[in-house]
Amino acid sequence: MKRKPTIYILLICTLLVLSSCTGNKEIYQSESNDLFTITITADSSKYSDDTAIECYATLKYIGDESITVYHYNPLVTFNIRDNNGYNHSGGMIVEYLNKTFQPGDELHIPYKKVAGWIDSEGTPFDEEFAMEPNLILPKGEYRLSANIYYYLDEVEILKTQDSLTATINIVVK
C-alpha cells in the first residue's frame, strides 16, 4: 500500500520535467559597444500563428561617467523581418530629444506596435497586422531586432552618430 503514494509522486515529477522541455523558453541576444548594451528578449523562439509574441528590449549604459545622448523619438525601435522581403520597422518621429544616462542606468522597453499600411502591392498581412493590438505574425521565420540610433553632440550630428542592434530569430508555425 505504501507504493501508491511513491508512484504518484514519481509520476507528477516526471510530468513536471517533461512539461519544462516544451521549447517555450525565453530567448535573448545582446550587443554592446563602448557606451551601451542593448538586449532583445522574447518569451519563446517558437509560436503558433494565433499566439501573441511577448518581447522587450533593455538598454544599459555601461560608461563610467554621466552622458547625454541625442536621439529620435523613440530612443529604442523594433524591427521585424522575414526571408520573403517583409520588413516592418516601428518607425521614428523626426523629433530630436535628449536623454542623460548615469553609470549603470538601465531602461526596460516593452515592444509596442506602431503600424500602418498603404493600398499597394505590399505584404498581404499588413492591414491585419496593423489592426491587431498584439504582436501576432503569420507562419514563417522572422528576425526581431531592437535598435538604438543616437548622437553624442547636438550640433555635430553626422560626426558623432552611432547605433547598436540586437536580433533574435523566431519561428511561427
Instruction: Work out the pLDDT band at 18, boundaries 50, 70, 90.
Output: very low
Q: Of the candidates 137, 164, 29, 131, which has an alpha carbon nearest to the alpha carbon of residue 80? A: 137
Instruction: Work out the pLDDT band at 171, boundaries 50, 70, 90.
Output: very high
Q: How far is it, in rounded angstroms, from Cα 131 to Cα 64? A: 43
Between 62 and 121, the more confident residue is 62
pLDDT of residue 4: 60
Q: How many residues does the chain have?
A: 173
pLDDT of residue 3: 58
**CA of residue 101 relative to chain centroid, distance:** 21
Rounded to 5 degrees, φ, ψ at 110 are -70, 150
- In the structure grid, which three cell numbers stand for residue 35, read together? 557606451
pTM higher than 0.85 for the full model? no
In order of their start, the domains of the chain are 23-172 (2.60.40)
Side chain identity, residue 33: N
- In the structure grid, which three cell numbers stand for residue 141, read together? 521565420
Tell me what the pLDDT averaged over the chain comes to. 84
Instruction: Work out the pLDDT band at 84, boundaries 50, 70, 90.
Output: confident
